[in-house]
Each structure stands twice: as structure tokens, then as C-alpha cells.
A and B are shown apart, each in its own frame.
Chain A
Amino acid sequence: MADALFETLLRLGDNTLILGHRVSEWCGHAPVLEEDIALANTALDLLGQTSLWLEYAGEIEGAGRSADDLAFLRDAWDFHNVLLVELPNGDFGQTVMRQYLFDQFNLMNLRALTGSTDNRIAEIAEKAVKEAAYHVDRSRGTVVGLGDGTAESHERMQAALNILWPYALELFITDDTDADMAKAGVIPDPKTLEADYRATIEATLAEATLTLPDAHFGHRGSGKDGRMHTEHLGHILTQMQWLQRAYPGQAW
């Protein structure tokens, strides 16, 4: 049970950590200043949520590892994030599309987690759900604005959706760890969130004049259980963990 809870917390924390890092790569590069600030603030919220999840993960593991140790001293095969969040940013449209696909899941998942039988998880979710709702508000609006924008922006948003949608489906794969945790009332069973998610996404896409690609598969969940990541995760870690690897134990 403790192992399954540790794994569950790593999945929550690693999703927000890796996406937060990816989004932070835009800092100083976004197309306009307001978007630059919005992306940096979104990344900051995600990293804040990460520290709450990973701090608790370290306590459950009981090996004395802090949130920082877990973030900066694990290698790629010990990360449990879905593949969606580690994909390269692509253009601004692809970044926004990925953000919306994740934000909508994060909001629904956190809402369900506020009712977790694990009090600490419920408390963290209660805090994070307010931030997630604000993120959805923005990423959803931007997807609609760009999808139903110019011919160029429409085409780019559709291309982004075609790439990302099969990856988004990994969020709804229920494996043994999820099933155990869901049975104990700690997390919602991921696959029970899918119908509502799909309906919400489809409503947004209709407004954005975009269409779901005809993808009959989802990537198989090899990110969340750590079996196999894309080649991109290792590259992220070389940047994110560089300082602690080069100067072990260095503190602010």
C-alpha cells in the first residue's frame, strides 16, 4: 500500500514537474510579453504543486528524501510522468494545446482528489484546484482564439492536436497501482474521468473549429509506470538537474 501511494504521488508530482519545466523554457521567448508572463506564472504554479506532491512522496517513502532530492537526483527511468508532458514545446500553438489538454485533466482529477480518503492528498488538491481552474480558463480561451483565428493559426492548432491527442489518452489508462488506490478511495479511477473529459474537450474544439483526429489508439501508459519514456525526457533532465549533478549538494 505504501509503495502504491508513493508511486501515485510520484505520478502526480512528476506530471506537474516536467510540464512546469517545459513551460518555463518559454521564459523570455514567448511571442508577446503578456504571454511570456502568463506562461512563466503557469510554470510557477505547476512547480508549487510539484513541491507539495513530492514532499509528501518523500515522507511516504520514508527514506529521508526531500522534494528537491526527488526532483533533482532521480534518473529518467525513475520518473512517472505521462509522455504528453515531456514532449518538446513545438510552436506556441502546440504548447498551448498541450497545456489545455493537461489543464482540463488536472482540473477534473484535482476536483475528484479533494474527496480523497487520504487527508493530505485532499488538502493539496483543495489548494491546487483553484490554480488549475484559472489555468483552464486561460488555455481554453487561447485554444479557441487560435483555433478559430486566422487560416495559419487554425492549421497550426489542428496540427498540434493531431500530434498530441493520442498522448493525452495515456492520462486515462488505469493500471494495477491506480486500481488499488482507487479501490481504497485515494484517487479516482482514471478511466472513469475519460467520458467527461472527452465531452468537455469536444465542446471546446467545436468552438475552436477544430476536430479530434481519427486516432484509435492511446500511447500505452509507458510513461506513468516508468517503463519507457520518450528520448526527450533525458534531455530535459540534463538541463533541469545540471546544477545538482555538477555541484552535488549545492544550496541557495
Chain B
Amino acid sequence: MRPSVDQIWTWLDAVPDPEIPAISLVDLGIIRDVGFDGETCVVTVTPTYSGCPATSVINMEIKAALHDHGVERVELKRQLSPPWTTDWISQSGREKLEKYGIAPPQAAGGPEKCPNCASTNLERLSQFGSTPCKAQWRCKDCLEPFDYFKCI
């Protein structure tokens, strides 16, 4: 029997991002559509950054997760337009990021507060970080460096 589209979304919401396992692929906003073409489940995915090395792992994990739930035929579609934006990160995703120690993206272009001590006395160390989607900041009160999720 074919699972419902809602069921597929729920399963995908349990697949962690390979580089930031605190949030799911659905939280990240990169799953753009789920549907069926006959018996084939079609999942439309948009890349975060064009060179993000996690993209191929993400595709593999989507297939693996759905196969585990008995969905035999899975087709992945890449969608470039409209391009991914950090506005698509869900509210729960933002909260999970902050709890994990990564300041969520802000339209102002920098973190709102330190994810460790909530201070707003912050400085930027580098516009880039350990993955394409992050930058390095530091709290000038608790002195902890932390990742900031770049706003794009």
C-alpha cells in the first residue's frame, strides 16, 4: 500500500542534516515537494549552497530513509529556482539550532545574541566557518566563539 504524502513528510522530518544533525532536512527547508508519479515517490530537493558537499549525502539519506519505511521506488528531483533561502528554515529549526549552539540567521546580517549566554556584546571573527552555510563569531562577555548560520 502506498503511504500518504503527509506520512512521507513526517518520515523526512526525522532525517537529520548530515552536517548539522540537530535539525532535520524538513527544518532546513530544502525539501520543496513530495508527491507520487504512479508508484514512484518523487522528492524535490533544493541545494543550500551550490558547492555544498553534503548534497550527495543528503540525497542518499533521503533514499535510505524511505527505503527503510518500505518505499521501494524513490526519485529525487533537483530544483534550483527559486533558490534556497534561510527564510525557509522552520521556527522549530531555528530553536533547535540555537539550542545546539549555532546562532540562527538574522536579516540584520549578524547573530542576535550569544547562543551560550545570550549576551549581545558580539564580534565577528570570520565571514566563513566550518561549513559553507556558517560564519565564525565570538561573544565578548563569555568569550566563547560560536557558529552563526549565514543569512542568505
Contacts and interface: CB of A to CB of B under 8 A. Distances in A.
Contact of A48 (B50, B130, B152): B50
Interface residues of A, number: 26
Contacts of A128: 50
Given A48-B52, A127-B50, A130-B152, A38 B126 contact: yes
Interface residues of B, number: 20
A167 to B, nearest CB: 25
Nearest to B46: A127
Contact of B49 (A34, A38, A45, A138): A45
Given A34-B136, A37-B130, A46-B51, A127 B80 contact: yes
A92 to B, nearest CB: 15
B125 A134 contact: no
A34 B51 CA distance: 19
Given A48-B49, A51-B51, A131-B49, A41 B80 contact: no
A5 B49 CA distance: 25
A42 B125 CA distance: 16
Interface of A: 34-35, 37-38, 40-42, 44-49, 51-52, 122-124, 126-128, 130-131, 134, 137-138
Interface of B: 47, 49-53, 80-83, 125-130, 132, 136, 150, 152
Given A37-B129, A128-B50, 8 more contacts: A37-B136, A41-B132, A44-B53, A48-B50, A130-B83, A131-B49, A131-B50, A134-B152
